Amino acid sequence: MGVDVHGTVTEGFEPVREAFARNFETLGDRGAAVAVYRDGRRVVDLWAGVKNIDDTDDTDGAEPWQRGTAQIVRSATKGVAAAVPLLLHQYGELDLDAPVGHHWPEFKAHGKERVLVRHLLNHRAGLPFLDRPLTPAEALDPLRGAEAVAAQAPAWEPGTDHGYHALTYGWLLDELVRRVTGRGAGQWIAERIAAPLGLDLWLGLPEAEAGRVGRVGPVEGPEPSGALRARPKRSVTAAYADPASVTRRAFAAISPSPDPNDPAFRAVAQPAANGIATADGLARFYASLIGRVDGVRLFEPATVERARAEESAGPDRVLIVGTRFGLGYMLHGSASPFLAPGSFGHPGRGGSLGFADPESGIAFGYVTNGFRTTVTSDPRAQALVRAVRSALAG
């Protein structure tokens, strides 16, 4: 028996509904939602399954996923957080080519005087890991993370190469925003982005909203085939397995890994990894970057171009495979395919995805409670992206 898919699609976007249903039937989704905007108007709004991963859809009393159900989106948080320094630049309050130490004097330690603001966004700061990882308890205090990255020596000469700052990105960006504005990134987003747009999206979950957020956990799915196949290269596998590698250390900057279902972890703002959103909140955010949504537009056209101009490309010191980054956003490529070459956005480890494509006017958001081992190219999200592409092709 197939899953009951709820919600609506505008005429022409029926392939997205079909692909969404198949994700439950063949790719292991248990609870998920997808939303798509085109030219500022919602054209896809779908949800299905159960709210909590430890429920099953044939268990008496299992709570169903509803339209307002939200989930932690892990690194898809980075794309939301990146909007803050870009907007501060747009408002004339932050120079992207200024040294970070100009705003944050303690950061200058260990030769980091030449680290520029843009290096924090394009993953060229050379600070993907901490020599002494934070414990989950320590990571609940964002100031501890900021102190740790300020005291950390770079792993390579800043600006000369790139490597994904999986967790340190959050502390770097959060403290920079705090030094410039007097507020952390989570508070700034709540006041200046989420409130004007009416987004169901939080960095630092308010207690009043906690009941809307489902429990997440691992799921298994069949091995993807054809275009979905994404077997890691041997060197990638070895890097993840080696405790001394830059790869392993980057993802272990908090060790052991925090429990994403822990209310204390959800309540703090870690702009690299613990944003919480509905699919609509994520898609609506990206729609506001490239056009007006109910009269509100965040990015001016020049800021859109700045966000998606290639800043880093090639073999990634952390992810090993070739990656492409603009300022805070991943760009369309083999490691993280979006809709089209001009798309920009960010996936979240485990499955979530948000992006915008200015040329087509498409903004996309997908969230799920079933985490798989994928870092950048989840087969469920990719199936939905292909369906959007098919719908646009007519």
- CB-CB neighbours of 98 under 10 Å: 13
Burial bucket for residue 343 (CB in 10 Å: 0-12, 13-18, 19+): buried
User: How many of the other CB atoms lie within 10 Å of CB of 240?
Assistant: 17
**Integer Cα distance of 309 and 327 in angstroms:** 7
Number of H helices, E strands in the chain: 14, 14
What is the C-alpha to C-alpha distance for residues 372 and 378, in angstroms, rounded to an integer? 8
- Say which DSSP state 154 is in: P
Q: Residue 284's closest CA among 39, 24, 10?
A: 39
Coil vs helix vs strand at 355: strand
> If we measure between CA atoms, which residue out of 340, 383, 26, 376 comes closest to residue 166?
376
User: Among residues 304, 301, 380, which one has the least CA distance to residue 344?
Assistant: 304
Residues that are catalytic:
75
> Torsion over CA of 254, 158, 303 and 184, rounded to 10 degrees?
40
Q: Which residues contact 286 (CB under 8 A, 6 or more apart)?
A: 37, 79, 345, 354, 355, 356, 363, 364, 365
Q: How far apart are CA 259 and CA 263, in angstroms?
A: 9
Q: Where are the alpha helices (DSSP H) in the chain?
A: 14-26, 76-90, 100-103, 117-121, 142-151, 168-181, 185-189, 195-197, 234-241, 246-251, 263-267, 279-290, 301-308, 379-393
